[in-house]
Amino acid sequence: MALLEAHSLTKRFAGITALSGVNFELKQGEIHALCGENGAGKSTLIKLLSGVYPFGSYEGELRLNKTLIAFKTVRDAQEAGMAVVTQELSLIDELNIAENIFLGNLPQIGFRVDWAKVYENTADLLKNFDLKLSPETKVGDLGVGQKQLIEIIRAINKHPSILVLDEPTAALSDHEIELLISHLKRLKAEGVSCIYISHKLDEVFQLSDRITVLRDGQTIKTVQTSETTRSDIIRYMVGRQISDLFPKRVNTKLGEVLLETDQICVADDNSNQVFIKNITLQVRGGEVLGIGGLMGAGRTSLLMHLVGAWGKRVKGKLYVRNRLVDNRSAPKDSIKQGLVLVSEDRRRYGLIIEQTVGFNISLSHLSHYAKFGKLSLLDEYDDNQKMYDFLHIKAVNQNSSVEGLSGGNQQKVVIGKALMTEPQIILFDEPTRGIDVGAKLEIYELINRLTDAGKAVVLVSSELPELMAMSDRIVMMHEGELSSVFNRNDYTQENLLSAAMGQL
């Protein structure tokens, strides 16, 4: 029986049609996957369903249990039993985990908040998700993946009848994904319905009962998951056949060592606790070195330290292009040395989201255009346009706001900003997180072009198929240390996961 129905939904923004006659149905106790490229209309549809775009701002109708619904606010949708976890996390950094999870839903004794119950229940929820965190930990001190899990826990704790998850595993490791999947299957058995949005088709096929594909704001196909294939879904999404998601590299010849670490140990700037321990690795020109591991293994911290953005080195040496780099290196110094980082958190560290595409692309390279105290705006614009065209950024022009771009195009802007510095070594931290299959393919092709040009690439990824397909070698991290090193012919998903868990 249909629990939630959308009929002929159309939504326009300033003359641009984001949704056009979309139909969608969610059954009781069903996990229904919603797939499509970035910009296909998935997020717009979810915002209609959840009251972000109120009744009256769109055409068409929504029905819940056959009754016409007219949500005016997000609160209306929540009171109707809907809980939504979007890509833009809504946690409050200044509050702790317990306060965030129960915000707006605090249990009370009389007129007082029952704080003992809040912290006790939070501890149980964290334990269920295998999160070894204190309920009193400030959310602002957590990493992206941990915040994602807290957001999901908060939604589940509301005991919704309809749970909507938009790219819930984008920041999670394989272990956390398995835990989430087991919880979603339990909720399904209890009769909870779920709309599941993900670019990770392996998860979609593992979890969902049905799949609806959107393209260009229209419903393309709704199919039973058991009656379709991954290739079919990709074809519906992009409108063409993609035979090989991981393109082959033309030049596999390796050059000299461009980045080398020797027994590096790094402590946190504030706590002085040593978190990165005895890291020794080399990366050559023309090589992709993959780095894997579970959330909290130290991958991001290592990359942040290599570019001088985090940590105090207490031991070891770092060489960039055969030059010893001391611990006082800052990101601007790393850029001068030919080393650049594409951060995992593009909205926090990679972009000034309110500014334009061109503003962001040239931001890391402004000194190049400074002449006699003034910027050469024409040269800046021309170079921005070349990068804009090179990366095939989809926007009206380089004066478009970054905030209005899809996730994949925002990521291209971040990469463009890095490449404007003309680096020799590029550190990619989760470069395909939360972007669609077409944008992923473009980034993979870009990585191949970079290595073909003799540049060194370090690739951190939580997706093992991506890591295996794109890397010449893979090092796995566990609790701040390198647990194992694998050559291309030696790794399997089982070996990599065992190494990530410290079992090899």
| Rounded CA separation 329/304 (Å) | 11
| Rounded CA separation 337/339 (Å) | 6
End-to-end CA distance of the chain: 49
| Rounded CA separation 310/66 (Å) | 54
| Rounded CA separation 173/144 (Å) | 11
Cβ proximity of 430 and 380 under 8 Å: no
| Rounded CA separation 297/86 (Å) | 25
Which two tokens mark 101? 């999870």
Neighbours of 84 (CB within 10 A): 22
Pairing between strand 425-429 and 339-342? Answer: parallel
Neighbours of 493 (CB within 10 A): 12
In this prediction the pTM is 0.68
Q: How far is CA 7 from CA 1, 13, 29, 238, in A?
A: 16, 19, 20, 24
| Rounded CA separation 203/295 (Å) | 18
15: left (phi over 0), alpha (psi -120 to 50) or beta: left
DSSP E strands, 430-488: 456-460, 473-478, 481-487
Q: What is the pLDDT along the chain (504 residues), one digit of tens a residue?
A: 789 999 999 998 766 788 999 999 999 999 999 998 777 888 889 999 999 999 999 999 999 999 999 999 999 999 999 999 987 778 999 999 999 999 988 888 888 999 999 999 999 999 988 888 999 999 988 877 788 889 999 999 999 999 999 888 877 777 788 888 888 998 999 999 999 998 888 899 999 999 999 988 899 999 999 999 988 998 888 776 666 778 888 777 899 999 999 999 999 888 889 999 999 999 999 999 999 987 778 999 999 999 999 999 999 999 999 999 986 678 889 999 999 999 988 888 889 999 999 999 999 888 888 877 778 888 999 999 999 999 999 888 999 999 888 888 899 999 999 999 999 999 999 998 878 778 888 999 999 999 999 999 999 998 888 999 999 999 999 999 999 999 988 888 888 878 887 776
Topology classification of domain 285-311+328-500: Rossmann fold (3.40.50)
Supply φ then ψ for residue 73, to 5 degrees. Answer: -140, 170
| Rounded CA separation 14/7 (Å) | 22
DSSP bridge partners of 211: 33, 223
- Specify the domain boundaries for CATH 3.40.50.300 within the chain: 2-238, 285-311+328-500
| Rounded CA separation 504/502 (Å) | 6
Neighbours of 329 (CB within 10 A): 20
The predicted-structure confidence for 2-53, as pLDDT tens digits, reads as follows 899 999 999 987 667 889 999 999 999 999 999 987 778 888 899 999 999 9
| Rounded CA separation 61/78 (Å) | 18
Helices 437-452 and 230-238, packing angle to 10 deg = 90
Residue 499: DSSP 8-state: H
The predicted-structure confidence for 382-439, as pLDDT tens digits, reads as follows 999 999 999 999 888 999 999 888 888 899 999 999 999 999 999 999 998 878 778 8
CA 323 remoteness from chain centre:
33
Pick the CATH number of 2-238 from 1.10.1740.10, 3.40.50.300, 3.40.50.620, 3.30.1330.10: 3.40.50.300
Supply φ then ψ for residue 77, to 5 degrees. Answer: -65, -40
